[in-house]
Structure 1
Amino acid sequence: MQRRTSATLPLARDLIRAPSVTPDDGGAIGVLATALRGLGFDIVDLPFGEGAARTPNLFARLGRGGPHLCFAGHTDVVPAGEQGWTTGPFDAAIRDGRLYGRGACDMKGGIAAFVGAIDRYLSGGRALAGSISLLITGDEEGPATNGTVRVLEWMRDNGQIPDFCLVGEPTNPEHLGDVIKIGRRGSLNAHIVVPGIQGHVAYPHRADNPVHRLLAILGELTAAPLDSGTDWFEASSLQVTSIDVGNPATNVIPGRAEARLNVRFNDLHTGQGLAEWIASVCRTHAPAAEADVRISGEAFLTQPTAEVEKLVAAIRAVTGREPRLDTGGGTSDARFISRYCPVAEFGLVGASMHKVDEHASVADLEELTDIYASFLERLMG
């Protein structure tokens, strides 16, 4: 199927022109809601949080039967930065076959492509065999506390959990059709604080050097690999990101030392298990140490299902490429969705995301629309 649509590019441009830098919406949710109402969707606005933390979210559904496919994504974007853009970051300029603007590939282009695909699927009065929904948040690039997590809770409580979810994050490193994400590593951040007793370096017996204790802790944590990987995941990785003492003097043993680290872990581990291990190592070398661990998300894996196979077939039919099933990279809101239903991620080429002059190929936007439409046809019949 190589038909083209005129719906995707105009919507992508309208979305980019809404300056939705987290936590501001900039009107982006409203732009999307208008487009979906035009296709017959029922719209539910789901703002969560109070004051400055109030987050705009949207749930839209068309149809009531099964199969139920949900498309998930975010309209919020990272700041554009002040310098280096060749056109305004929210102008949505088209130049040399590329659409430029913050969010072009991450991920307003993906949202527009899905709406374009739905429009294509419904064209000609086709009856919907099943139902389609969209879970859209304005809080993916931020703290992610009042976005997808809260919408999923609402969906659960209101009988709206889908059979399968497709997240439109930019998964492809170089070419459209390279990669489908079927899982992600978990992530945690730890802040370790080791108290000591300050003193003169010439009288160490009168002090308790926290730096030595901290180095022993970090030495044990990094002494051996956490694992050697699994069939679907690369090896887990613990990286020390900061060691701070705040001591400008050369003859003073400090009274405190601290470090920060991040662990990206596969499905051999849980965040809680790693947190307990870190705390245990701290107690061994510094009984008074404190380890504050924040778990951003657990590792998850969607085994290649019939839905994933149909997505692979759609990509193959449109691009001629055989996508690789992958679990690498950072985290996404799929980590929350995986608690409720099978989920995969596929979107645009992400090489320019979060960069100056973020862009998406206009041809890729149209091909992504073709892929999503082909997937809908294979899934819905």
Structure 2
Amino acid sequence: MSDIAASAIDLCRALVQCPSVTPEDAGAQGVLEKRLRAAGFKTHPIVFSQEGTPDVANLYARFGEGSPHFVFAGHTDVVPPGAAASWRFDPFSAELADGAIFGRGVADMKGAIAAFAAAACAFAERGGAGRGSISLLITGDEEGPAINGTEKLLRWAYERGERFDHCLVGEPTNPDALGQMIKIGRRGSLNGTLTVKGRQGHVAYPQRAINPVPHLVRLIGALIAAPLDSGTAHFDASNLEIVSVDVANPAFNVIPAEAQARFNIRFNDLWTPETLSAELHARIEAARRGADYLMRFEPCNALAFLTAPDRFTDLVCAAIERHTGRRPSLSTSGGTSDARFIRAYCPVVEFGLAGATMHMIDECAPVKDIRTLTAIYATLLEDYFSSVP
């Protein structure tokens, strides 16, 4: 295992040294592809395009034939590092210090990609192909608009006959320490805008104007007055947050013509975007009292989903507990991830490094955690191909 772990550390540093800020690849997927090809994987680098969006590099790699077919998924793109001068080390130097690797994307999620790639390569090199197939789905569009990434890569793979049995996404699922948590689902995310029309006028002559602000305040109150639900067995209660209120009015003596509020809802498996829209429209209509309003919702590609606990989740938990001594909790908390696309093709869970420093200045991951994560993934592969039909 020490050789596998060393390979993971070297690969992690090589990946972090590629400044692959969305949508740039900066050579990251080429580094990964080279390692996979050396282990016997058949690789398929693919660039997806769509008008009005940046081109995005993606990588699909497979070793073996037939089933069971296990998939690791992840993203090589990272968020911008911010001011490099604020970092302890250059954010793309992958510096080793204090027992950790420092650099943008090491926690989210190049450390996990290096760990599962090293584990998958070692498994393949030991002859794992005779027991099924291992694939990697890697995108460069998770931190971006998620248009030319995983969703299109999954469709491409399906159309060429690829069928997956189970998937693990290497997102940083643990709040503070490795082994605390796996994600077995995610809440959905829906964005909306509420606009109230008024009539502009002088504040000294309110009878000649219609002030949209009091109407907007009342309608916002109607949206948030009652909880959407009280949660389910695996999900917290759905939550609506007002994120912006704006009238675009710099003057003190003018009644504005329009007022607008923007909001986001993180919703559980009791709702769909359609049923949420209907519920919120009903709440607004009940409180309308003559207000001239428009409420619209952005296209939604983030539906709530759940991978029900079963033998597969038991295998993942057992591998984690074996190497960390912790039995992870099964969670659906947090934001969205590319698992929302994968769930349409096979059961999917998420487990990676601790996320305490992700997207932060001085993002880092302990070397021992990357080593342990590599061992967890290696054990999972051995157990999976021995236990899952």
Cα shift at 1:203: 3.3
Aligned match for 1:191, one of 184, 190, 193: 193
Query: How many angstroms apart in 1 are the aligned matches of 2:95 and 2:369?
Result: 16
Q: State the one-letter code of the partner of 2:135.
A: S
Q: How far apart, CA to CA, are the structure 1 residues paired with 2:126 and 2:253? A: 81
Amino acid at match of 1:239: E
* Alignment partners' CA distance in 1, 2:321 and 2:130: 24
Match of 1:292 among 292, 296, 303: 296
**In the TM superposition, what is the alpha-carbon distance from 1:260 to its structure 2 partner?**
0.6
Match of 1:301 among 301, 306, 316: 306
What is the match of residue 61 of structure 1?
A: 62
Distance 1:262-1:145 versus aligned 2 partners, 3 A rule:
same
1:72 touches 1:166 (CA, 8 Å); kept in 2?
yes
The counterpart of 1:347, out of the listed 328, 349, 352, is 352
**Secondary structure of the equivalent of 1:272?**
helix
Which amino acid is the alignment partner of residue 99 of structure 1?
I
Offset at residue 126 of structure 1 (A): 4.8
Query: Equivalent of 2:248, from 246, 249, 254?
Result: 246
Per-residue deviation at 1:151? 0.7
The equivalent of 1:8 in structure 2 is 8
User: What percent of counterpart residues are identical?
Assistant: 52
Partner SS state of residue 5, structure 2? coil
Q: Which segments of 5 or more consecutive residues in structure 1 lack a partner in the other structure?
A: none
For structure 2, the 5+ residue unaligned runs are none
For the Cα contact (< 8 Å) 1:128–1:380, is it kept in 2? Answer: no
Q: Find the partner of 1:313 among 310, 318, 321.
A: 318
Q: Which amino acid aligns with 1:271?
A: P
How far apart, CA to CA, are the structure 2 residues paired with 1:5 and 1:247? 58
Aligned match of 2:108:
106
Alignment TM-score, normalising by the size of structure 1: 0.96
1:350-365 mapped onto 2 (5 Å cutoff): 350-365=355-370
Partner residue of 1:216 out of 215, 218, 221: 218
Match of 1:231 among 233, 238, 245: 233
CA apart distance, 1:277: 2.9
Q: How far off is 1:278 after superposition?
A: 3.0
The two structures have a TM-score, normalised by structure 2, of 0.94
- The amino acid of 2:31's aligned partner reads V
Matched, 1:375 2:377: no
Aligned mate of 1:200, from 180, 202, 210: 202
* Structure 1: distance between partners of 2:223 and 2:336: 23
Structure 1 residue 248: deviation in Å? 2.7
2:340 to 292, 314, 335: 335
Asked if residue 43 in structure 1 is aligned to residue 48 in structure 2, the reply is no
Structure 2 match to 1:173: 175
Distance in 1 between the 2:247 and 2:128 partners? 66
- Write the deviation string for residues 72-114 of structure 1: whole angstroms up to 9, x where unpaired: 1000000011131111111011011101111111000000000
Which whole-Å CA distance do the structure 1 matches of 2:264 and 2:249 have between them? 24
CA offset digits 1:148-175 (Å, max 9, x no partner) = 1111111221221311110000001111
Contact 2:195 2:293 in 1 (8 A): yes
Q: Is the contact made by 1:12 and 1:108 (CA closer than 8 Å) also made in structure 2?
A: yes
Q: Name the residue aligned to 2:19.
A: 19
CA RMSD of aligned residues (A): 1.7
Is the Cα contact below 8 Å between 1:5 and 1:120 reproduced in 2?
no
- TM-superposed CA distance for 1:282, in Å, is 4.3
The question of whether the paired residues in 2 share the 8 Å contact of 1:318 and 1:371 is answered with: yes
Structure 1 330/126 Cα, relative in aligned 2: closer, same or farther at 3 Å? closer
Q: 1:35-184 alignment to 2 at 5 Å?
A: 35-50=35-50, 53-82=54-83, 83-184=85-186
Specify the SS of the correspondent of 1:19.
coil
- 8 Å Cα contact 2:64-2:129 kept in structure 1: no
SS in 2 for 1:221: helix
Q: Give the direction of change, closer, same or farther, for the CA distance of 1:60–1:122 in structure 2 (3 Å limit).
A: closer
Contact 2:168 2:348 in 1 (8 A): yes
How many pairs does the alignment contain?
Answer: 381
Most deviating of 25-34 and 291-300: 291-300
| 1:75–1:138 Cα contact (<8 Å) kept | yes
